[in-house]
């Protein structure tokens, strides 16, 4: 059977409206949720079909014992009750009714089941046909041991940044209320009710698992420079396995990203949501830079702000208007987890980060969960992860961090793209083949003013783009007559300490012509904000990175590498084993110590994704 793809259903990925791109602090202890595995809890100990008013995801005030619906859903339940209550004479069996609901079994078909539009695709129809249309979730009386667990998982979809209404939330609640009302009245059900409930639950399960497996929206529709991993998840097989072992939460978790980073960020969401529901944190009024030792009325607001986010865990009882040492440490802590210069001074950049609202930070967290769902499920045994929003590179060997460094990434006008590719070789003492756009926009004006610019900066003029193209004499060209559209040949910069690529270039061929490389401008790594390149990634420790990717060949030592660099000759070195490179973009994460980090959205990508996910103005809502 064909596995469920990323786009199989009216509520599947790619169906969200797309608009293209043109804090609590330290040591979170989140409340448990049904997404966590509970192997010691057999199906017989799960919640009843209708959870009690207190403690369950449906609990709410004013509904009475066992009542789980708000008024709009209750009105819908009354309509369903009138439609489904009586069982007509000669009624079909439940499998026969499911088969009738799904029609002739020819996918894809769009149909209405109960109160919901269902896209009966190959997977849904094939699933039921493969079990002779027997129900998966409920019996003739509309009950089933797995239903409460699935409903609870759907309720907590919002913590993943997903909307439960995409998974027939109101319809499922109304159907369950109708079943409960019929049971309370002691009346038999029309088989169309449990059949409809079963099909809607199956569709909800499949769509949710599809979204967790590959994402709610398609990043390539949002961002022109974002390539996502294309993989399929066998959701039908997962559902069949679920019906054997009976653990809904474990099954759904299986389809979500396996990376611990995803689950750490997910675990921080309930605490952040609770903080938002309490009103978030106060803002710090604008004004001049605040330094340690200052006395200012704004310092008291700064204390309240940092205490609310957990950066100032034990506010001092001293004068709240004085910027004391304890407050300085709290500022430094805040700066560190926001990617700011850690100086203990509240200047414009720190003030800007302090005044991002708690609700906006929550949306940022939820958007970053979606980004995880776009990524490959495995990094590779040996891999390199570059987070452009954090200006950082981390190298992993068998899942263990073995190397980290600062990087310089593309400016906002020349964004570093997002994709995954295999690094296959590196170059020692590389030439820099100047991209035509840089040659005509940046270098041609300099050459016109000073014909000696090329020789003085070690550039060569080459007739073409092939390896054997001859080198031309730039002195024979009247540069004053050269236009951008008629630029002669290409420019390349000779190897050496002056070369824009430095001494080493790391190649993982890709459609964007982006790579990692050294740089002669080492001082730029001291800047906290390092979006300074034309799109490629400049690395702080090129020699260490080269030894990391060549480690399977013991002949490559630091001394040998330094000798080759000193020779000034170009060398192409194939990697003994390809190394996977992942260029990613994360503006929120929780580290291994449980500290929640945020970064400035340097490419303005968060808001676009938040709109596509429907998070704007909806992040504080609850599904009860």
Give the Cα separation of 462 and 477 in Å (integer). Answer: 13
Please confirm whether the linkage preceding 9 is cis (ω < 30° from 0): no
The active-site residue out of 536, 571, 582, 597 is 536
Nearest to 610 by CA among 214, 19, 14: 19
Q: Is 536 a catalytic residue?
A: yes
Are 154 and 212 in contact by the 8 Å Cβ rule? The answer is no
Half-sphere exposure of 366 (CA within 13 A, CB side): 33
Q: How far is CA 249 from CA 33, 36, 137, 327, 623, in A?
A: 9, 7, 15, 43, 18
392 in helix, strand or coil?
A: strand
Give the Cα separation of 506 and 504 in Å (integer). Answer: 7
Q: What are phi and psi of 236, to 5 degrees?
A: -60, -45
Q: Is 517 a catalytic residue?
A: yes
Are 325 and 314 in contact by the 8 Å Cβ rule? The answer is no
Q: Where are the beta strands (DSSP E) in 59-126?
A: 109-113, 116-120
Half-sphere exposure of 7 (CA within 13 A, CB side): 6
Q: How far is CA 108 from CA 119, 233, 467, in A?
A: 7, 19, 52
The active-site residue out of 119, 168, 211, 517 is 517
Nearest to 504 by CA among 457, 556, 465: 556
Q: What are phi and psi of 310, to 5 degrees?
A: 85, 5
**Where in the sequence numbering do the catalytic residues fall?**
517, 536
């Amino acid at each position: 059977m064909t596995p469920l793809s990323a786009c199989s259903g009216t509520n599947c990925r790619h169906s969200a409206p797309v608009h293209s791109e043109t804090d609590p602090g330290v040591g979170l202890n989140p409340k448990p949720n049904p997404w966590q595995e509970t192997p010691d809890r057999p199906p017989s100990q799960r919640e009843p079909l209708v959870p009690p008013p207190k403690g369950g995801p449906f609990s709410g005030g004013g509904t009475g014992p066992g009542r789980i619906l708000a008024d709009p859903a209750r009105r819908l339940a009354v309509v369903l009750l009138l439609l489904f209550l009586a069982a007509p004479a000669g009624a079909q069996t439940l499998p026969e009714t499911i088969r009738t609901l799904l029609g002739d079994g020819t996918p894809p078909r769009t149909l209405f089941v109960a109160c919901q539009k269902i896209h009966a695709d190959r997977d849904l129809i094939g699933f039921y046909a493969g079990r002779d249309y027997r129900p998966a979730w409920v019996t003739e009386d509309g009950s089933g041991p797995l239903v409460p667990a699935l409903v609870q998982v759907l309720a907590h979809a919002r913590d993943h940044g997903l909307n439960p209404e995409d998974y027939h939330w109101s319809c499922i609640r109304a159907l369950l209320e109708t079943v409960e009302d019929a049971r309370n009245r002691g009346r038999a059900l029309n088989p169309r009710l449990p059949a409809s409930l079963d099909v809607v639950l199956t569709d909800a399960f499949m769509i949710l698992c599809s979204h967790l497996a590959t994402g709610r929206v398609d990043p390539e529709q949002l961002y022109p420079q974002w390539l996502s991993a294309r993989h399929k998840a066998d959701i039908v097989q997962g559902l069949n396995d679920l019906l054997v072992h009976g653990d809904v939460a474990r099954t759904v978790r299986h389809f979500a990203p396996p990376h611990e980073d995803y689950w750490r960020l997910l675990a921080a969401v309930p605490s952040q949501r609770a903080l938002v529901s309490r009103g978030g944190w106060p803002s710090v009024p604008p004004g001049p830079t605040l330094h340690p030792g200052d006395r200012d009325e704004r310092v008291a607001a700064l204390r309240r702000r940092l205490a609310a986010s957990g950066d100032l865990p034990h506010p001092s009882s001293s004068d709240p208007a004085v910027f004391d040492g304890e407050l300085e440490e709290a500022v430094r802590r805040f700066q560190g987890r926001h990617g700011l210069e850690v100086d203990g001074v509240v200047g414009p950049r720190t003030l800007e980060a302090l005044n991002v609202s708690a609700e906006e930070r929550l949306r940022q967290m939820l958007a970053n969960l979606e980004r995880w769902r776009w990524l490959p499920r495995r990094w590779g045994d040996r891999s390199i992860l570059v987070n452009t929003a954090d200006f950082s590179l981390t190298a992993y060997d068998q899942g263990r961090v073995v190397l980290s460094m600062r990087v310089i990434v593309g400016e906002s006008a020349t964004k570093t793209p997002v994709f995954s590719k295999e690094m296959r070789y590196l170059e020692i003492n590389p030439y820099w083949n100047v991209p035509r756009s840089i040659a005509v926009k940046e270098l041609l004006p300099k050459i016109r003013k000073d014909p000696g610019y090329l020789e003085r900066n070690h550039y060569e003029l080459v007739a073409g783009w092939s390896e054997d193209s001859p080198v031309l004499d730039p002195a024979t060209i009247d540069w004053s007559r050269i236009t951008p559209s008629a630029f002669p040949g290409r420019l390349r910069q000779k190897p050496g300490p002056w070369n824009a690529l430095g001494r080493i270039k790391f190649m993982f061929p890709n459609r964007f012509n982006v790579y990692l490389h050294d740089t002669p401008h080492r001082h730029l790594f001291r800047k906290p904000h390092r979006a300074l390149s034309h799109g490629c990634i400049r690395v702080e420790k090129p020699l260490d990175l080269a030894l990391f990717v060549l480690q399977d060949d013991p002949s490559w030592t630091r001394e040998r590498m330094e000798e080759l660099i000193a020779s000034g000759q170009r060398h192409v070195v194939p990697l003994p084993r390809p190394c996977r490179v992942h260029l990613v973009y994360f503006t929120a994460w929780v580290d291994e110590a449980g500290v929640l980090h945020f970064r400035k959205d340097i490419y303005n990508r968060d808001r676009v994704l938040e709109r596509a996910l429907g998070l704007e103005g909806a992040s504080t809502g609850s599904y009860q």
